[in-house]
Structure 1
Amino acid sequence: MPEADASPLHSGLFLDLDGTLADSLTALKNVYHCFLASFGANGDEVEFQRLNGPPLGEIIERLRVAHKLPGIPADLLQKYSAMVSQAQQSVRPAAGAHELLAHARACGLKIAIVTSSSKLSAQKWLAFGGLADKIDDVVGGDEVSAGKPAAEPYLRALKRLNCSAALSHAVEDSRIGAMSAVAAGLQTWALAPPNNRAGWPAQVVFIERLTDLLGRIPAC
């Protein structure tokens, strides 16, 4: 695990994984529906969107209560996690991911993934997607006591990479994730369609694609 040092604070680029750096929302939506269907339950788009962002354990608990799913929570979590891991094997990096990471690296920014997924699953996907060598650190949902929308995930990433929140950028695709980044004091950019921009923090700036940031993060 990288440790903060005593040098001047750096600028950083902190990215969510699913739906942001990884083009995975379609795969995760299929997991959500298949998981519920295995118990004879049905999901819907509204619920899926509400579950975009929180730690996996919280997602399972919400589904268990809402759909009265049988079984032990730990077993439900294991089943869902296995389905997610399987689905991620076919997920590719989002359009513009390589370009944005290369630009950030050329500009001297520290780069981290801040995800509600486990650290190990995120690292496996980064290796699969050919991005592992472009990332300085990964903060997983299993490393924090309070996941998104709490500020802790981003605060932990800032500390580990010795970055200043005021000099750093976060990229999210969920309202919950954006709330976490804003609470930690980062300039926050969001990938969200026009019909999904209600109720977001006022500080968020919406973008259409990752490459929109090439001219907005510090120029080299």
Structure 2
Amino acid sequence: MAIPRPTRIQAALFDFDGTLADTERLGIELDDEAYAHFGITPTQGEKNSLAGTDGLESIPALFRAHGMDVSAAEFFAHRRPSDVIYEEMPLEASPGARELMGRLRAGGTRVAVVSTTEHRLVVTALGRVGLLDLVDLVVGGDDVARHKPDPEPYARALKALGVAAHEAVAFEDSPSGVASAQAAGVHTLGYTGSSVPQDLSAADELFSSFELLDL
């Protein structure tokens, strides 16, 4: 059953990777370098399946599909660290994201970023793309015990902001993110404008651009 959109939005909770900035395309570039080391060429669908996950289960599953037993730790040992995405590689905010966040804050809505990525890297990237000054709270992957699709990241953000789930909306570009937000009781908008298309049919609403979103 769909979760209704709040009449008055008290909190807007944004995923970062693939939603506020196109980091997932850059992550796939790093993944491709590591896949080459192991001698495999995953399909685009297999690559996309890793988006929005921490890789601990999805990476071994991908390699098993290619007849190999490779742990996430082994994979990451041969992959450049993700830090370079957030600290060095070219990065821009999704079109219209800053304007939407500004309008929401001007209307009294609290703004949070809820991500599986390490807290400090999210903060660094938000600063680089010019969004940090519009964010009241960041919940990173190292701030919680359980990652998306578990509801803990969103539940933690709601508690920290002092906002009830039915007063909030979430913006997500991955099935695991949608599941996490909805499990926390939050109306979730699925962003279809990401460079890594995913099945967002479970979202309460879909939108293709922050520039066209009416909130």
Cα distance 1:142–1:69, how it changes in 2: closer, same or farther (>3 A)?
Answer: farther
Cα distance 1:106–1:58, how it changes in 2: closer, same or farther (>3 A)?
Answer: farther
C-alpha offsets along residues 13-33 of structure 1, whole Å, 9 cap, x if unaligned? 001111100122321221221
Structure 2 partner of 1:42: 41
Distance 1:93 1:79 in 2: 29
Structure 1 partner of 2:108: 108
Determine whether 1:136 maps to 2:136: yes
Question: Could you say which structure has the higher helix fraction?
Answer: 1
Q: Which runs of 5+ in 2 are unaligned?
A: 1-8
- Using the TM superposition, name which of 51-60 and 25-34 deviates more: 51-60
SS in structure 1 opposite 2:92?
coil
SS in structure 1 opposite 2:101?
helix
Distance 1:164 1:111 in 2: 14
Distance 2:69 2:55 in 1: 16
Contact 1:189 1:207 in 2 (8 A): yes
Distance 1:168 1:24 in 2: 25
- How much has 1:42 moved relative to structure 2? 1.6
Structure 2 partner of 1:90: 90
Moved over 6 A (4+): none
- How much has 1:157 moved relative to structure 2? 0.6
Contact 1:92 1:129 in 2 (8 A): yes
Determine whether 1:183 maps to 2:201: no
Kindly, what percent of the aligned residue pairs are identical? 31
Cα distance 1:198–1:63, how it changes in 2: closer, same or farther (>3 A)?
Answer: closer
SS in structure 1 opposite 2:38?
coil
Contact 1:63 1:69 in 2 (8 A): no
> If the length of structure 2 is used for normalisation, what is the TM-score?
0.82
1:1-220 aligned within 5 A: 11-63=10-62, 68=68, 73-74=72-73, 76-77=75-76, 80=79, 82=81, 84-88=82-86, 89-192=89-192, 198=199, 200-201=201-202, 204-213=204-213, 215-216=214-215
C-alpha offsets along residues 81-121 of structure 1, whole Å, 9 cap, x if unaligned? 61x22233311111111111111111111111111111111
Distance 2:80 2:156 in 1: 24
Distance 1:199 1:90 in 2: 27
RMSD: 2.4
Structure 2 partner of 1:3: none
Distance 1:92 1:36 in 2: 26
SS in structure 2 opposite 1:211?
helix
SS in structure 2 opposite 1:41?
coil
Q: Which runs of 5+ in 1 are unaligned?
A: 1-9
Cα distance 1:100–1:166, how it changes in 2: closer, same or farther (>3 A)?
Answer: same
- Using the TM superposition, name which of 112-121 and 40-49 deviates more: 40-49
> If the length of structure 1 is used for normalisation, what is the TM-score?
0.81
